[in-house]
Structure formats: C-alpha cells, structure tokens
Structure 1
Amino acid sequence: MALIDIENLEVTFSGGGRHVRALTGVSLAVEEEDSFGIVGESGSGKSTVLRALCGLTPVTAGRISIDGKPVPSPRDQAFYRRVQMVFQDPYASLHPRHTIDRVLSEPLVIHGLDHVEKRVEQALEDVGLGAGFRFRYPHQLSGGQRQRVAIARALILEPKIILLDEPTSALDASIQAEVLNLLDRLRAQRGLTYILVSHDLAVVSHMCDRLVVMQSGEVVEELTREALQAHETTQTYTRNLLTASAGFTRSPARPR
C-alpha cells in the first residue's frame, strides 16, 4: 500500500459565474521514503495538487488517503504533525515582523510541545544556520537563509511527509544546489517522504525517484528518474519540456 494515494482528484474554481477546472482526474501513488516529482509548465495544475493535499484548496471530487485512511476535511492537528509544506517564495512565506525564534517556536506552542528553546536551536543547526540566527528578522537574511528557515519550520514538528512547492526557483543558481543537497541529506537522515513540484526538470532529475508530467490539469505521463534522464518519453509534451529545460544553442553568426 502506498503511503500517499490520490485517486481521480478534481478541483474546480468558481467565481463571477465562471468555472475553471484546475485538476481533472489526477491519480498518483507515493511510497514511503520516496521522493516523487510533479512537473509541468505554469498553469498545469502541479501546485494545486499540493495545495489540495494539505487542505489549502477545496477538492471538488476524488479521494486523498495517507496510510490507507482518508485525510480529514478540514485538516486537523494530527495531519499537520505528519504533513508539512515548504512554499516557493522565502520572501513571502515568513512574517516580516516576527523573529526567526518566533517563526520556529510558534508551531511548537500551537501543538503543545515542550523544550521549545532546545528544539528551535536544534532545528537551526539541522539546516546549517545555528543558534546565532534565532533573534534575527527575515529582512536580515539572504534568500537562501530564509528558505533554510522555511525548511526548519516545516521540520520542527518532526513530520514524515514534506510537500515542496518550487523550493529553489526564487533562489540564485549558486544557492539552489546547496538547498537541494540539504533537502537530500535531511530525507536520508530522517526517512522523509517528499512530493516535489517544479518546472525545472534538472531539479526533478536530481531529487526524485519517480515523477508525473502534468498538462492542463491532467497527468499525461509517469516516468522513472532513469527514463527522464534517458529521454525515454512517450508524449510530445514531455519531449518539449525536456527541450525547453535544456535550452538552445545559438547558431554561429554568418559573416557579412
């Protein structure tokens, strides 16, 4: 039995007399301690899958189960002890007027956990920052440091499932590898299960064992890491994504 099982998931947004189908019949299964990727162009619905899973987007139809049990709606505290999310933009996901100490201690207080100070310091150490960052504010940190704080906040409740929504896309290229390597190390150390959303196939190839490709709210293909790296795809859409991800080579200018 898969740890996370999503069957025929549908999400429809309504407003102003209009109805927009964001997801249509999305199904996927993620094994325990797996790192599973969801890729696609902007507007393909990949981030909506994560938001539906963690209860930030209402589900129109379908079923989401963890360990064979349907997730509650609305999500309860037990769910968030087990499932946490790291958002795309580290500049927007941290409260600008809260110290890092408050950002990290707040979930512990809400969930009634003890040894708050010790847990906060350990969480900062785990993401390579250290206790010296506790009383800084987000504006005093670089983008990479802010995303490390966001990862620490997700991990501080000791969940087993982490949802990663484009976790490095807002970072400089030189910092992206550091954050990805940190996520890899934490997964190995803690036996975590990841679902990673990205438009960057190089990131998915580095991080994920398996992945699905989404287009217009639907899953169009499922691949292993090996098949992705070998460009063994069956869909033209996936081949186009691979081509776009690889960039292009400019032809030499003709002499005039």
Structure 2
Amino acid sequence: MGLLDVINLDVIFGEAPQQVHAVKGVSFSVREGESYGIVGESGSGKSTVLRAICGLAPVSGGAIELGGREVVSPRGRDFYKTVQMVFQDPYASLHPRHTIDRVLAEPLAIQGFDNREERIERALSDVGLGPGFRFRFPHQLSGGQRQRVAVARALILEPKVLLLDEPTSALDASIQAEVLNLLDRLRAERGLTYVMVSHDLAVVAHMCDRLLVMQHGRAVEELTRDALRARTATTDYTRQLLAASEGYKPAEPK
C-alpha cells in the first residue's frame, strides 16, 4: 500500500450508445516521496486518470485510496489540503482578471489559513518570483512565470501530493528545463509525492522513479527509471513508443 493507490479504476463518460470508456481497470500505487509518471499517446487516458483522482472526472468503477482510506465524491476540504493539481496550460488555469495576489489568496481563504500575507510572499519566493509579481495579472507574465504561479498556488496549501498534467508541454524548451528543475528542487526540499502525466519520455526519465505506460485507456506495463533508460520494455507497444520518441536519448545514470 502506498500513499496514493489507484485500484481497478474505470472512468466512463456519457450514456449508451455514445458512451466513452476512457479508463479501463487501471491500477498503480505511489509511495510517499516518490515521483511517478504516466505516459502514453494522446487519447490514452493518462490525463483522465489525474482528473479522476482530483474529482474532475467520474469514478465509474474501482477505487482511489489516499493514506489507506478510500477517497469519496465529492472531494472534501481535507482532500484538497493533501492533493493539488498543476494543469497543462498555465494561462488557461489562471483567471485573466485576477491578480496573482488574488489567485494565491483564494485557496488560503477557502481553507481558512492564517498569516496569508506571509504565506503568499513565501509561495512566490519558493518558486523564484519576487514580491514585484504579486499584483500583476496573468497576461503580464511569460509562460514560464505563469506556470511558476500555478505551482505556487498548488503548494500554498502545503499538500503532500502534486498531480502534474503535462506541466511543461506548453512552454519553450529552455523554460521547460527551468520549471522541471524547480519541481525537482521543491520535491527534495518538501518531501513531496508527484504523479506526472507526460508524452515526453525524456521528461519522465529525468523526473520519475517509476512510470506506467497506457494505451487505449488500459495500463500496458510499469517500468522503473533504469528500465526506461536501458529501453528494456517488455511489450511491443512500449517499444514502439520508445522508438517513436524522436530525439529521445536515455540519460546516463549518475
């Protein structure tokens, strides 16, 4: 049993005959302090798994457990104090008419946190943004800065688990590296647990201890980082995914 356990998860959208069975019997377990990756082609169901965990997609079958306890719907305040999500598009996930101060203050107000001024300043500092960013609007920030704000918003409630849905795919390559290094540092400093969805195997090889490969809503196989780097996949689909990753070169173990 891990900190986060997904057990035979099914996600179904709509009603017959137009039903879409997006996730089919997926199971995995994430240990405390681990960074766990989910990879697959577009439409494989990987992002839907994250959305089901955080309550944005229906759990049609199976169960999700956090700390050994089944997560119920709708998600309560305690769940969101423990689990937060960072979305793919840093612009779409921030309200365009809210200042960064308001973006960060709202979750603190909802959860009843005190010392809000200090928490906002510390959250911005932790992601490498100074106090000068506090009263700017999202359109006044670069893509990388917006994603840093999204990370600050997720971390301001001091969660244990971050769900990362393609957190760098909308960013330029140089900015991607900055955000990934930031996430790496924060996990080390805070003992965070990550579940990261990505189509980029180089990102997963850098960030994740283990990964799950998905295809057509199903789990195909689970690999360790070393197995990914050595390309020792056991299924044809994973081998094809590795071969199709243009420019992907496994990093040498340190």
Counterpart of 1:41, as a letter, is: E
The RMSD of aligned alpha carbons is: 1.1
Structure 1 residue 237: deviation in Å? 1.0
Cα distance in 2 for partners of 1:100, 1:94 equals 9
- Aligned residue for 2:197? 197
Cα distance in 2 for partners of 1:120, 1:227 equals 40
Counterpart of 2:108, as a letter, is: L
1:18 match: secondary structure: coil
Counterpart of 2:125, as a letter, is: E
Cα distance in 1 for partners of 2:16, 2:172 equals 39
Structure 2 counterparts to residues 141-160 of structure 1, below 5 A: 141-160=141-160
Count of aligned pairs: 248
Q: Which runs of 4+ in 1 moved over 4 A?
A: none
Bigger mean CA offset, 86-95 vs 233-242: 233-242
1:246 match: secondary structure: coil
Give the structure with higher Rg (CA).
Answer: 1
Cα distance in 2 for partners of 1:245, 1:175 equals 20
Cα distance in 2 for partners of 1:202, 1:196 equals 13
Structure 1 residue 16: deviation in Å? 7.7
Cα distance in 2 for partners of 1:115, 1:163 equals 26
Counterpart of 1:54, as a letter, is: C
2:176 match: secondary structure: helix
What does the per-residue CA deviation read over 1:201-225, in whole Å, with 9 as the maximum and x for residues that have no partner?
0000000000000000000010000
- Aligned residue for 1:254? none
Cα distance in 2 for partners of 1:16, 1:109 equals 41
Cα distance in 2 for partners of 1:86, 1:204 equals 16
Structure 2 counterparts to residues 237-256 of structure 1, below 5 A: 237-247=237-247
2:183 match: secondary structure: helix
Unaligned runs of 5+ in 2: 249-254
Cα distance in 1 for partners of 2:16, 2:122 equals 48
Cα distance in 2 for partners of 1:155, 1:70 equals 23
- Aligned residue for 2:138? 138
Matched, 1:174 2:149: no
1:228 match: secondary structure: helix
- Aligned residue for 1:115? 115
- Aligned residue for 1:103? 103
Structure 1 residue 17: deviation in Å? 4.0
TM-score (norm 2): 0.96
1:226 match: secondary structure: helix
Report percent identity of matched pairs: 71
Cα distance in 2 for partners of 1:72, 1:192 equals 22
What does the per-residue CA deviation read over 1:131-176, in whole Å, with 9 as the maximum and x for residues that have no partner?
1100000000000000000000000000000000000000000100
1:205 match: secondary structure: helix
Unaligned runs of 5+ in 1: 249-256
Counterpart of 1:107, as a letter, is: P
- Aligned residue for 1:12? 12
Change (3 A) 1:61 1:125: same
